[in-house]
Structure 1
Amino acid sequence: MWGRSGKWLTIVLAIVISGLALAFGGAAKVSTDPADSLPKGAESAAVARLQQEFPSGQVLPALVVYSRSGALTADDRAAIDADAERMAARAVGGRVPPPVMAPEGDVALLTVPLAGTLSNSELSEAVAQVRAEARDGLPAGARVEVTGGAGFKVDLSSVFSGANITLLAVTASVVALLLLLTYRSPWLWLVPLAVVGVADQVAAKAVALLTNLTGLTVDDSTLGITSVLVFGAGTNYALLLIARYREQLRIHEDRHQAMSAAVRSAAPAILASSATVALALCTLLFALSPFNRAIGMAGAIGIVIAVAYALIVLPAAMVLFGRGLFWPFAPKVGQADPARDGLWRRVGAGVARRPILMTLVSVGVLAFLAVGAVGVQSGLSQTEQFREKVEAIAGQETLSRAFPAGSAQPVVVIAREPAAEAVLQAAKGAPGVSTATVADSASDLTKINVVLAAEPGSDASLTAVEKLREAVKAVPDGQALVGGPEAIDLDERQAATRDQFVVIPLVLGVVMLVLLLLLRSVVAAVTLVTTVIISFVASFGAGWFAFERFFDFPAMDLSVPLLSFLFLVALGVDYNIFLTHRAREEAVRQGTHAGIVTALAVTGGVITSAGIVLAAVFAVLGVLPLITLTQLGIIVGFGVLLDTLLVRSVLVPALVTLMGERFWWPSRPLSLSAARRLDRERELQSS
Structure 2
Amino acid sequence: MPTVWQRISTAPAGRRTAWSLLTGWLLVAVCAVMFTNLGEVETNDVSSWLPAAAESTRALELATAEFPAAEPDQLLLVYARDGGLTDADRAAATADATALAALAAGPVPEPVPSRDGAALLLAVPLSPAQAAEEAIGPVLAQVRQAQADGLPAGLGAWVTGGPAAGADFDAAFDSLDTTLLAVTVGVVAVLLLLTYRSPVLLLIPLFAVGVASRLAEWLVQLGAEHLGLVVNGASAGILTVLVFGAGTDYALLLISRYREELTRHADHRHAMRLALRHSLPAIIASAVTVILALLTLLAAGLNSTRGLGPVAALGILSALLAMTTLLPALLVICGRRVFWPLIPVARTGPAPARRPGPWARTAAFVARRHRPIWILTALALAALSLGATTLTTGVRQSESFTSKPDSVRGFEALAAHYPAGSGDPTELYANTRHADAVAAAVRALPGVAEVGPAEPSAAGGWTRLRIVLADPPSSDGAEQTVLRLRETAREADPSALVGGATAQELDQNTTMDADLRLIIPLILVVVLGVLIVLLRALVAPLLLLGSVLLSFGAALGASALVFHAVGFPAIDRSVLLHGFLFLVALGVDYTIFLMTRAREERAALGHHQGMSHALAVTGGVITSAGVVLAATFAVLSLMPIVFMMQVGILVGLGVLLDTFVVRTLLVPALIHHTGPRTWWPSHP
TM-score normalized with structure 1 length: 0.94
Shift of 1:479: 1.6
Q: Tell me what 2:341 maps to.
A: 328
How many Å separate the matches in 1 of 2:284 and 2:484?
51
CA contact (8 A) 2:48 2:232 kept: no
Is structure 2 residue 545 aligned with structure 1 residue 529? yes
How many Å separate the matches in 1 of 2:201 and 2:299?
42
Shift of 1:592: 1.1
Q: Tell me what 2:472 maps to.
A: 455
Identify which range, 114-123 or 623-632, moves more after superposition: 114-123
How many Å separate the matches in 1 of 2:215 and 2:153?
53
CA contact (8 A) 2:391 2:569 kept: no
Q: Tell me what 2:508 maps to.
A: 492
CA contact (8 A) 1:418 1:478 kept: no
Shift of 1:339: 9.8
2:319 alignment partner AA:
A
Is structure 2 residue 65 aligned with structure 1 residue 48? no
How many Å separate the matches in 2 of 1:492 and 1:32?
15
2:465 alignment partner AA:
I
Equivalent of residue 423 in structure 1, options 432, 438, 443: 438
Q: Secondary structure at the match of 2:76?
A: strand
CA contact (8 A) 2:291 2:317 kept: yes
Q: Tell me what 2:583 maps to.
A: 568
CA contact (8 A) 1:420 1:478 kept: no
RMSD: 1.7
Shift of 1:554: 4.4
Equivalent of residue 363 in structure 1, options 373, 378, 392: 378
Equivalent of residue 283 in structure 1, options 273, 283, 296: 296
Q: Tell me what 1:191 maps to.
A: 204
Q: Secondary structure at the match of 1:146?
A: strand
Aligned length: 666
Is structure 2 residue 67 aligned with structure 1 residue 30? no
2:487 alignment partner AA:
E
Shift of 1:142: 2.0
Q: Tell me what 1:353 maps to.
A: 368
Shift of 1:71: 2.2
How many Å separate the matches in 2 of 1:35 and 1:358?
50
Q: Tell me what 2:22 maps to.
A: 11
Query: Equivalent residues in 2 for 1:201-280 (5 A)?
Result: 201-280=214-293
Q: Secondary structure at the match of 1:374?
A: helix
2:509 alignment partner AA:
R
Q: Tell me what 2:488 maps to.
A: 471
Shift of 1:664: 0.5
Q: Secondary structure at the match of 2:391?
A: coil
Shift of 1:379: 1.5
1:397 alignment partner AA:
E
Shift of 1:78: 2.7
Shift of 1:647: 0.3
CA contact (8 A) 2:44 2:233 kept: no
1:624 alignment partner AA:
M
1:461 alignment partner AA:
A
Q: Tell me what 2:619 maps to.
A: 604
CA contact (8 A) 1:58 1:116 kept: no
Q: Tell me what 1:675 maps to.
A: none
Q: What is the CA deviation profile of residues 415-466 of structure 1, one whole-angstrom value per residue up to 9, with x for unaligned ones? A: 1111101111121122322222235221211111222222333222222211
Q: Tell me what 1:679 maps to.
A: none
Shift of 1:75: 2.9
1:533 alignment partner AA:
L
Shift of 1:337: 9.3
Is structure 2 residue 559 aligned with structure 1 residue 543? yes
How many Å separate the matches in 2 of 1:597 and 1:555?
42
Q: Tell me what 2:496 maps to.
A: 480
Q: Secondary structure at the match of 1:451?
A: strand
Shift of 1:299: 0.4
Shift of 1:338: 9.2
Is structure 2 residue 179 aligned with structure 1 residue 159? no
How many Å separate the matches in 2 of 1:30 and 1:423?
38
Q: Secondary structure at the match of 1:189?
A: helix
1:227 alignment partner AA:
T
Equivalent of residue 587 in structure 1, options 588, 591, 602: 602
Is structure 2 residue 82 aligned with structure 1 residue 73? no
CA separation of 1:436 and 1:326: change in aligned 2, threshold 3 A:
same
CA contact (8 A) 1:42 1:491 kept: yes
CA contact (8 A) 1:280 1:570 kept: yes
Query: Equivalent residues in 2 for 1:139-178 (5 A)?
Result: 139-178=152-191
How many Å separate the matches in 2 of 1:655 and 1:13?
45
CA contact (8 A) 2:174 2:233 kept: no
How many Å separate the matches in 1 of 2:243 and 2:549?
23
1:132 alignment partner AA:
Q
Equivalent of residue 101 in structure 1, options 113, 117, 122: 113
CA separation of 1:339 and 1:486: change in aligned 2, threshold 3 A:
farther
1:216 alignment partner AA:
L
1:471 alignment partner AA:
T
How many Å separate the matches in 2 of 1:30 and 1:99?
37
How many Å separate the matches in 1 of 2:613 and 2:308?
38
Identify which range, 528-537 or 157-166, moves more after superposition: 157-166
How many Å separate the matches in 2 of 1:339 and 1:628?
49
How many Å separate the matches in 1 of 2:373 and 2:81?
63
1:97 alignment partner AA:
P
How many Å separate the matches in 2 of 1:140 and 1:161?
33
Identify which range, 332-341 or 520-529, moves more after superposition: 332-341
Shift of 1:111: 1.3
How many Å separate the matches in 2 of 1:631 and 1:376?
12
CA contact (8 A) 1:384 1:554 kept: no
1:528 alignment partner AA:
L
Is structure 2 residue 644 aligned with structure 1 residue 633? no
How many Å separate the matches in 1 of 2:63 and 2:85?
35
Q: Tell me what 2:5 maps to.
A: none
CA separation of 1:337 and 1:33: change in aligned 2, threshold 3 A:
farther
Q: Secondary structure at the match of 1:138?
A: coil
How many Å separate the matches in 2 of 1:657 and 1:243?
25
Q: Secondary structure at the match of 1:63?
A: strand
Q: Secondary structure at the match of 1:332?
A: coil
Q: Secondary structure at the match of 1:145?
A: strand
Shift of 1:57: 4.4
How many Å separate the matches in 2 of 1:273 and 1:31?
31
Q: What is the CA deviation profile of residues 393-434 of structure 1, one whole-angstrom value per residue up to 9, with x for unaligned ones? A: 111111111011112121111111111011111211223222
How many Å separate the matches in 1 of 2:176 and 2:70?
31
CA contact (8 A) 1:61 1:114 kept: yes
How many Å separate the matches in 2 of 1:564 and 1:76?
48
Shift of 1:558: 2.2
How many Å separate the matches in 2 of 1:88 and 1:309?
56
Q: Tell me what 1:674 maps to.
A: none
Identity %: 45
Shift of 1:51: 2.0
Equivalent of residue 395 in structure 2, options 373, 377, 380: 380
1:456 alignment partner AA:
P
CA separation of 1:166 and 1:300: change in aligned 2, threshold 3 A:
same
Shift of 1:109: 0.8
